[in-house]
Amino acid sequence: MTAATDGGYDEFLDALADGDGYFYACSNEHGLLPPRQACPHCGDRELARRELPRTGEIVTHTTVSVPTPQFDDNAPYVTAIVDFGQVRLTGIVRGVDRDDVAIEQRVTATVEPSETTDDRTITFRPAQ
C-alpha cells in the first residue's frame, strides 16, 4: 500500500510499532486517530498531535470464530476496543487466554503482522 492510499495511517502504525504512538486532538479536545483532516464530532480542523498514553483499558471485546479471509489462520482470535483516555483504538488482543480477557483489563498497544497475511495489525498485549 502506498502512503497516498492510507493518508498517514502507515506513518501512525510505524510510530506505534516504535513505541511512539500518537493521536490527534481537535480544539474541543475530541481525540482522533490518523488519517484525519477534520474532527467528525465538531468539524474543527485544528488538529494537534498528542502522545498516546502507554497503556489503555479494554472497553469491550469479542472472540471472532468466523473470520474474514485476511484473518483465516488467526481464528479464533480476540478483538477489542481499548480506551487510552482521550482516544480509543481497535485491535487484536494477544498474550492473554481468550477466557481471561476482561473489560477494564490494562493493555499496551503495538503493531504486529497478522498470521494469515503480512499486513500489520494493531495488537494489544497485557500491560506489565
Partner 1 sequence: MSQVRLAGTGMTSFGSHPDRTGRDMFASAGLEALEDAGVPAADVDELFYGNFIGTLSERQGHQGPLMAEALGTTVPSRRIESACASSGLAVHDAVRAIGSGDADVVVAGGMERMTNMGTAGATDGLARAADDLYEVQSGVTFPGAYALMARAYFDEYGGTHEDLAHIAVKNHDNALVNDHAHLQQEITVAEALEAPEIAAPFGLYDACPISDGAAALVLMSPTYAAEHDLEAGVAISGAGHGGDTMALHDRPTLSRTPATREAAKVAYDEASIDPNDVAIAEVHDCFTIAEVFALEALGMYRDGEAIGAARRGETRRDGELPVNLSGGLKAKGHPVGATGAAQVAAVATLLDGSHPRAEAVADDATIGVAQNAGGTVASATVHVLEVIDE
Residues that bind partner 1 (CB under 8 A): 6, 9, 32-33, 35, 40, 59-71, 74, 76-77, 79-81, 88-92, 98, 103, 114, 119, 121-122
- The whole-angstrom distance between residue 17's C-alpha and the CA centroid of its chain comes to 11
Return d(Cα 39, Cα 55) in angstroms, integer.
24
Smallest distance from Zn ion to CB 40, Å: 8
- The binding track of 7-26 with respect to Zn ion, each residue x by CB under 5 A or -, is -------------------x
Q: Which is nearer to partner 1, 41 or 49 (CB)?
A: 41
CB 23 within 8 A of CB 52: yes
Residue 40 C-alpha cell reads as 467528525
Distances (CA, A) of 69 to 20, 73, 114, 126: 30, 9, 11, 27
User: What residue number has its CB nearest to Zn ion?
Assistant: 39
Smallest distance from Zn ion to CB 102, Å: 31
Smallest distance from Zn ion to CB 26, Å: 3
Return d(Cα 89, Cα 80) in angstroms, integer.
8
**Residue 1, binding choice from Zn ion, partner 1, none, Cβ under 5 to 8 Å by partner class:** none
> To which H or E segment does residue 14 belong?
helix 9-17
- The binding track of 26-45 with respect to Zn ion, each residue x by CB under 5 A or -, is x-x-x--------x-xx-x-
